[in-house]
Amino acid sequence: MIIVMQARATEADVEYVSRRIEELGLTPHVSRGTERILIGVIGDERLVNRDQLTLLPHVEEVIPILKPYKLASREFQPADSIVSVAGVPIGGNEVVVIAGPCSVEDEEQIVTAAIAVKAAGARLLRGGAYKPRTSPYVFQGLGEEGLKLLARAREKTGLGIVTEVMESSEVDVVAEYADLLQVGARNMQNTKLLRSLSKIDKPVLLKRGPAATLNEFLMSAEYLLSGGNHRVILCERGIRTFVEYTRNTLDLNVVPAVKQLSHLPIIVDPSHGTGRHDLVVPMSRAAIAAGADGLLVEVHPAPEKALSDGEQSLKPAAFADLMREVRCIAPAVGRSVASPAATASGRESARTV
Amino acid sequence: MIIVMQARATEADVEYVSRRIEELGLTPHVSRGTERILIGVIGDERLVNRDQLTLLPHVEEVIPILKPYKLASREFQPADSIVSVAGVPIGGNEVVVIAGPCSVEDEEQIVTAAIAVKAAGARLLRGGAYKPRTSPYVFQGLGEEGLKLLARAREKTGLGIVTEVMESSEVDVVAEYADLLQVGARNMQNTKLLRSLSKIDKPVLLKRGPAATLNEFLMSAEYLLSGGNHRVILCERGIRTFVEYTRNTLDLNVVPAVKQLSHLPIIVDPSHGTGRHDLVVPMSRAAIAAGADGLLVEVHPAPEKALSDGEQSLKPAAFADLMREVRCIAPAVGRSVASPAATASGRESARTV
Amino acid sequence: MIIVMQARATEADVEYVSRRIEELGLTPHVSRGTERILIGVIGDERLVNRDQLTLLPHVEEVIPILKPYKLASREFQPADSIVSVAGVPIGGNEVVVIAGPCSVEDEEQIVTAAIAVKAAGARLLRGGAYKPRTSPYVFQGLGEEGLKLLARAREKTGLGIVTEVMESSEVDVVAEYADLLQVGARNMQNTKLLRSLSKIDKPVLLKRGPAATLNEFLMSAEYLLSGGNHRVILCERGIRTFVEYTRNTLDLNVVPAVKQLSHLPIIVDPSHGTGRHDLVVPMSRAAIAAGADGLLVEVHPAPEKALSDGEQSLKPAAFADLMREVRCIAPAVGRSVASPAATASGRESARTV
Amino acid sequence: MIIVMQARATEADVEYVSRRIEELGLTPHVSRGTERILIGVIGDERLVNRDQLTLLPHVEEVIPILKPYKLASREFQPADSIVSVAGVPIGGNEVVVIAGPCSVEDEEQIVTAAIAVKAAGARLLRGGAYKPRTSPYVFQGLGEEGLKLLARAREKTGLGIVTEVMESSEVDVVAEYADLLQVGARNMQNTKLLRSLSKIDKPVLLKRGPAATLNEFLMSAEYLLSGGNHRVILCERGIRTFVEYTRNTLDLNVVPAVKQLSHLPIIVDPSHGTGRHDLVVPMSRAAIAAGADGLLVEVHPAPEKALSDGEQSLKPAAFADLMREVRCIAPAVGRSVASPAATASGRESARTV
């Protein structure tokens, strides 16, 4: 941390601030510039409440030097983490595609979807049982019944299942069924939920909030990691901007940015990220080209009858086209996409968790 | 709802879409322009899943005409709602100031703060017991112990208490102590929490999420109203933008916009809204000038020792200054600010809930 | 400037960077923390190209300490600047209202508007002759003919005139007629135009770009100041955000933020800032309460027939209401609003330019 | 255009509005819903000033149906436009890479850069002679001298040159030297500049403004097209959002969105788009995967000595790596990247302009 003193700060002010830094168990280091005096703070700044320094007399600004997260950082763990979900490694050489409907609606729908996405090459099945919806007047998901139907689809296809959990009281029931528990974008900073999920023995898919900075995104991952759950997969799904032609602005820049700062795998959801089925294919290609470890794609047997998110869902045939395109792009970045029956293995240097 | 057909749509397409509209229990009304054919949908469009029409063949766009919320709209209830909190009416002629520390830290701190804010003219006491924090490594609130300390401060000062509830499983315990339950910005779309709060007999303070549109904000209110809780107070607390000089961008435009579209009271939180104690006073004045029904202000006896949000907290003396300024501004917009002992009464035409 | 070295940087790297700093004519000051080595750069960092340090080996980050602007800063000039426009001081105790139509359309329109706004208490007349429009198919302004009509309205009413200049080749002709030359939001970073305006003997109204940070805004002012024109007035007119209920998001937070960092006066344009005539009055009140030195308001004798921006224009009667409200608010913040004939005088401590 | 009447509108209001529509030369078509009466406006809505309808009594909202641009739309011209720049077709099957330094600094620098980028496979040379800079205290470009140096580099390498023009008075001199004239992001809505460029016989590269919607972007293209210059190439270079890890947020979603709505080619500038040299390669790959027709990349022989934008510039060796990656990705989307000597030909169905 660097403390910038105001131009009018006196030596007495500098001494006062220095003493306060010492009282907090840290060491001050004064540097006198031509226009400002700076005080470097030596020690682990993550343990200090920044405001306790900002508000001291004649302090102009307090600038953090270290990233606020530790366990999520690549500095802490240089090798890529590979997270295994129902036997499918995410974060290794293989680009993993997760697909399925926004909501589980009935057995026929979810089983049909599961068979279709498996046939096209998806490795895991997604489907929502607990649905956070903007409007109280629309379908809110089947709840535990939906989880059972997902389990049914898993039995029939062998695909591991990915589904959202909305609050800590439901973690146990969702964990009983799911292979990968999803934290939705609206819940990225639901710290109670994150704490509960940090205690379970199942991997977690953490979606980025629509207004989350990268620091905030990785700090939410840090809740999971610091609580003891190291099986964390990040997911970019669009941020909120002024742009009018997409529901959200899928921000692919975050993919290489995460790869530099963190060892965690990151996948991309082009369906929520754009809100438009006709942009899903090009943005899926782009996500993989940017370095994403996988995709999360909405596929519905009959999108025009879907109870939620039809506009951004692909029909099975369009999803098969997407998989064909993905199979062209992945090798161009040195990655593979498994054919349905294949088993993938991780990178040599990586650490499977 | 208006369905815009693509330029190349044929009469057969128009008929197909019209039939589909009829199957949904609505009536189509075709209008032929020079470049496009439009189909008006007559009936309650809120009950239709828009995607079910968007995805029909040769549909270019589906434009909603009605607002998605109903109970929250001024069209539904033309008179202002006045929500009574521990006997203090919010939404009437009086501009109500709620003040106190970000977090409850110990008995001395909260009681000192309560006495100070009451002396300056605050009508309700705020203080967090359950704290959603960005970092897992910092103070997360005292939990139920914090609620007890708030109750202690209420006993000593008579001020009603306002505190955050973070998930549905905690609604009961928080409702036992609080006079007004706050839904934090990060939880604005936590639909489980909203549903739980819609069933209790206590008013709710709903903070706007940092990326929430006005439609989304009022739809979250709609969750509370449609579940049966009509005692809803809205709160603007800053949105996320590119701006660098404030932590959030306090968006005062939403105040008159809400007043036109909704009957619900709206207050403003300039502390979170700007993140800077030195902007709290001017933006408090501006909020009232824009028509806000009250303020939510962070006040701490010793901000430089606060366990959270010190940088945006006022000292008691600065808060007393703020109250003096507020007492100058309110009459300029035809509103009053109660002196500590006063009792306020609502507007004639309003409906107290 | 602070250079943060990467964790793996060696002493040799530190020495290399230090030597490079010395070559740039500055002095390095090394500070060894527990996790990072920092190098403070002593000297005027504004003269150094930051990238020349960022790209040195094993540099993690370069953090600027000083603001990039100098002449615009309050540190450079502690007293408020008061800018006199046709005898009307802006930035002093008086809140100055500038009003008139978006575009000059014909003599009757501009003269009618001028008489009406003067009668209501406006001190200067606005009107566009050169119009930057989003669409090439709509009215683009009358050009020099519009300037002549403005001069006509000035003759008839005595009101000084404010009008936009769009490029450097037109500075002379606009300066011949205008009392205050406006740089539109789209041109805030048109550096050729700024340089031309820095050489004239007329004051400049600099509108904030819709995506401009405060640093960028003040740096554009710095172009004017460093070129020799000290008569600069800033204007907030809304930023671009995700918000859907206003055309732009009027950001009043910038008003007190500018007041802290700069000595320049700042006025607010609630017409463009909201794009809605029904929000102009509440946001005008709020602007003054936040500390604005004036308002820029669109008024049209018949907005429904206006050739541009009708939706955000007030009719003369609504503008008279606005002036009444402004006259209530200004005294509540210790400011005055002149009645039409009055002459205002500046604050004691201020410096009229 | 659809006019939504307020709930309280009477038949007389509907008639009044209908009459007004007829006066504007259009035909009204009334549709009575259960909660609102709608009036469809039949005729070319682009020629009507929307506000003239919005402000009529009891009108709630006016919703445009048609896009505001015409010549830029794919509806107007279904086949892709291919724009030839110094013999290099942009918008055809070949992905064209344009590279070079941010600013022309001296002959050695620009010639060295030109030789290096040509050797790696770039097809055109970029370099700024007129530079719009945020700060008045830094290098502002060499002006015409810079144009001459660019011409020198063209002589030596045969590469066509791309350079920015900042105002209409400089169009002639820049057109004398440049093969492709660039409109910078800050000037996207400089309508005088656009009008001047619409009259020349050289192609124009139009960069998207940092806060420009797609409608605004295409409307700026419409200025060029409607003035008679059909040789327009669009360029995405990042938008302004809240995101902190990139200088701008490169918005690749715009690429497929443009491809649907417009026939114009679009290229991507990952250098300005991210502001980080370490993100340029992954985002270049992603741009091509999303469907971009080319790249605009900053390359400098010695970025750490660059007078501008060093942090986002690649060294020649890194650029050669980029070209290798681009050569892997392009075929995966069915496109080619020319080897230095190759000549490309356009798609069959496209229209070269």
Question: Is residue B200 located within the same domain as residue B338?
Answer: yes
CB contact under 8 A, D136 and C222: yes
Say what percent of chain D tops pLDDT 90: 76
Residue C178 near residue C148, CB atoms below 8 Å:
no
CB contact under 8 A, A31 and C31: yes
pLDDT top residue among C73 and B343: C73
So what's the pLDDT on residue A266?
98
On the CB side of A37, CA atoms within 13 Å amount to: 19
CA–chain centroid gap for C323, Å, is 22
Alpha helix positions (H), chain C? 11-23, 51-54, 107-120, 144-157, 171-177, 191-197, 214-227, 254-261, 270-274, 277-290, 316-332
Return the residue matching tokens 């609606």: A105
Range of the domain at A39: 2-63
Among residues A20, A37, A63, the one where a domain terminates is A63
Residue C76 has pLDDT above 60, yes or no: yes
- The answer to whether residue C342 sits within a structural domain is yes
Question: Is residue D99 located within the same domain as residue D58?
Answer: no
CB contact under 8 A, D137 and C47: yes
**What residue in A sits closest to B240 (Cα-Cα)?**
A211
Question: Is residue B167 located within the same domain as residue B207?
Answer: yes
Question: Is residue A211 located within the same domain as residue A309?
Answer: yes
d(CA C346, CA D135): 31
Question: Is residue D19 located within the same domain as residue D157?
Answer: no
d(CA D168, CA D174): 10
So what's the pLDDT on residue C235?
98
Listing from the earlier edge strand, what are the strands of the sheet with D351-352?
D88-90, D81-85, D351-352
Residue B107 has pLDDT above 70, yes or no: yes
Contacts of B49 in chain A (CB under 8 A): 138, 306-308, 310
d(CA A290, CA A268): 10
| B127-138 per-residue burial string, b: 16 or more CB within 10 A, e: under 16 | bbbbbbbbbbbe
Backbone phi, psi, residue C37, to 5°: -100, 130
Contacts of B134 in chain D (CB under 8 A): none
Q: What is the mean pLDDT of residues D180-200?
A: 97
CB contact under 8 A, A44 and C34: yes
Under 8 Å CB pairs connecting chains A and C tally to 53
Residue C46 has pLDDT above 80, yes or no: no
Chains that touch D (3 or more CB pairs under 8 A): A, B, C
d(CA A121, CA C243): 40
Q: Which of C47, C135, C186 faces D190 most closely, judged by CB atoms?
A: C186
So what's the pLDDT on residue D350?
64
- pLDDT-derived band of residue C181, with 50, 70 and 90 as boundaries? very high
Contacts of B135 in chain A (CB under 8 A): 46, 68, 219, 222
Q: What is the mean pLDDT of residues B332-343?
A: 75
So what's the pLDDT on residue A341?
44
Q: Which of A192, A306, A311 faces B167 most closely, judged by CB atoms?
A: A192
d(CA A6, CA C77): 15
**Residues on A contacting D at a C-beta cutoff of 8 Å:** 211, 213-215, 239, 241-246, 249-257, 260, 273-274, 278-279, 282-283, 285-291, 325, 328-329, 331-333
Element containing residue B153 per DSSP (H, E): helix B144-157
CB contact under 8 A, A44 and C35: yes
So what's the pLDDT on residue C353?
75
**What residue in C sits closest to B285 (Cα-Cα)?**
C289
pLDDT digits (tens, 9 = 90+) for D287-313: 999 999 999 999 999 888 888 777 889
Question: Is residue C115 located within the same domain as residue C256?
Answer: yes
pLDDT, averaged in runs of 10, over chain A (353 residues): 90 92 89 87 79 85 89 95 97 97 96 97 96 87 96 98 96 98 97 97 98 97 97 98 96 98 98 94 98 97 83 93 95 87 45 75
**What residue in D sits closest to C170 (Cα-Cα)?**
D169
**Residues on B contacting C at a C-beta cutoff of 8 Å:** 211, 213-215, 239, 241-246, 249-257, 260, 273-274, 278-279, 282-283, 285-291, 325, 328-329, 331-333
**Residues on C contacting B at a C-beta cutoff of 8 Å:** 211, 213-215, 239, 241-246, 249-257, 260, 273-274, 278-279, 282-283, 285-291, 325, 328-329, 331-333
Count of domains forming chain C: 2
d(CA D53, CA D30): 15
CB contact under 8 A, B66 and D36: yes
So what's the pLDDT on residue C349?
57
- The answer to whether residue C205 sits within a structural domain is yes
d(CA B110, CA A319): 58
Contacts of C35 in chain A (CB under 8 A): 44, 66
Contacts of D226 in chain C (CB under 8 A): 136-137
Contacts of A31 in chain C (CB under 8 A): 29, 31, 40, 42
CA nearest to D206, candidates D243, D153, D162: D162
- The answer to whether residue A43 sits within a structural domain is yes
Q: B134 to chain A, minimum CA–CA distance in Å?
A: 6
Q: Which of C137, C216, C309 faces D46 most closely, judged by CB atoms?
A: C137
Question: Is residue A155 located within the same domain as residue A285?
Answer: yes
So what's the pLDDT on residue C274?
95
Question: Is residue D151 located within the same domain as residue D239?
Answer: yes
Question: Is residue A191 located within the same domain as residue A272?
Answer: yes
**What residue in B sits closest to D34 (Cα-Cα)?**
B43
Q: What is the interface pTM, i.e. ipTM, of the complex?
A: 0.93
So what's the pLDDT on residue D352?
74
CB contact under 8 A, B68 and A304: no
So what's the pLDDT on residue B342?
47
Residue A215 near residue D244, CB atoms below 8 Å:
yes
Residue B316 has pLDDT above 50, yes or no: yes
Q: Which long-range contacts (CB under 8 A, 24 or more apart) does D138-147 make?
A: D138/C49, D138/D307, D138/D308, D139/D103, D139/D307, D139/D308, D140/C191, D141/D103, D141/D104, D142/D103, D142/D104, D142/D105, D144/D173, D146/D103, D146/D104, D147/D173, D147/D174, D147/D176, D147/D177, D147/D178
Q: Give chain D's mean pLDDT.
A: 92
The SS3 of residue B171 is helix
**What residue in A sits closest to D334 (Cα-Cα)?**
A328
Cα separation of the two ends of chain A: 33
DSSP string for D145-190: HHHHHHHHHHHHH--EEEEE--SGGGHHHHHHH-SEEEEPGGGTT-
So what's the pLDDT on residue A119?
96
Give the count of beta carbons closer than 10 Å to the beta carbon of residue B150.
28
CA distances from C128 to A246, B24, C105, C273 (A): 34, 51, 9, 17
Question: Is residue B28 located within the same domain as residue B140?
Answer: no
pLDDT digits (tens, 9 = 90+) for C298-344: 999 988 888 877 788 999 999 999 999 999 999 999 999 977 544 44
Asked whether the CA dihedral B176, B179, B184, B189 is positive or negative, the reply is positive
Q: Which of C251, C278, C289 faces B329 most closely, judged by CB atoms?
A: C289
CB contact under 8 A, A2 and C7: no
Q: B50 to chain D, minimum CA–CA distance in Å?
A: 17
**What residue in D sits closest to C140 (Cα-Cα)?**
D191
Maximum Cα–Cα distance across chain D: 76
- The answer to whether residue C88 sits within a structural domain is yes
pLDDT digits (tens, 9 = 90+) for C91-119: 999 999 999 999 999 999 999 999 999 99
Q: What is the mean pLDDT of residues C37-49?
A: 82
d(CA D255, CA A110): 33
Asked whether the CA dihedral B177, B183, B184, B187 is positive or negative, the reply is positive
So what's the pLDDT on residue A208?
98
Q: B51 to chain D, minimum CA–CA distance in Å?
A: 19
Q: Which of B132, B168, B311 faces A189 most closely, judged by CB atoms?
A: B132
CB contact under 8 A, C42 and A31: yes
According to DSSP, the residues that pair with C125 across neighbouring strands are: C99, C161
Q: What is the CATH number of the domain that holds A32?
A: 3.30.70.1140
- The answer to whether residue C228 sits within a structural domain is yes
CB contact under 8 A, D244 and A287: no
Among residues B63, B89, B109, the one where a domain terminates is B63
- pLDDT-derived band of residue B349, with 50, 70 and 90 as boundaries? low
pLDDT top residue among B304 and D154: D154
**What residue in C sits closest to A243 (Cα-Cα)?**
C242
Contacts of C215 in chain B (CB under 8 A): 244
**What residue in D sits closest to A289 (Cα-Cα)?**
D286
Question: Is residue C251 located within the same domain as residue C199?
Answer: yes
**What residue in B sits closest to C274 (Cα-Cα)?**
B253
Q: What is the CATH number of the domain that holds A103?
A: 3.20.20.70
Which tokens is B180 given? 């007004």
d(CA A55, CA C29): 26
Asked whether the CA dihedral C169, C172, C176, C180 is positive or negative, the reply is positive
So what's the pLDDT on residue B353?
75
Asked whether the CA dihedral D58, D64, D65, D66 is positive or negative, the reply is positive
The SS3 of residue A166 is coil
pLDDT digits (tens, 9 = 90+) for D243-282: 999 999 999 999 999 999 999 999 999 999 999 999 999 9
pLDDT digits (tens, 9 = 90+) for D26-50: 899 998 888 889 998 888 777 777 7
- The answer to whether residue D238 sits within a structural domain is yes
Q: A239 to chain D, minimum CA–CA distance in Å?
A: 9
- The answer to whether residue A222 sits within a structural domain is yes
- The answer to whether residue C38 sits within a structural domain is yes
CA nearest to A43, candidates A54, A29, A32: A29
Question: Is residue C174 located within the same domain as residue C42?
Answer: no
What count of residues does chain A have? 353
Contacts of D328 in chain A (CB under 8 A): 332-333
Contacts of B239 in chain C (CB under 8 A): 241-243, 249
**What residue in A sits closest to C38 (Cα-Cα)?**
A40
Give the count of beta carbons closer than 10 Å to the beta carbon of residue D172.
11
CB contact under 8 A, D286 and A282: no
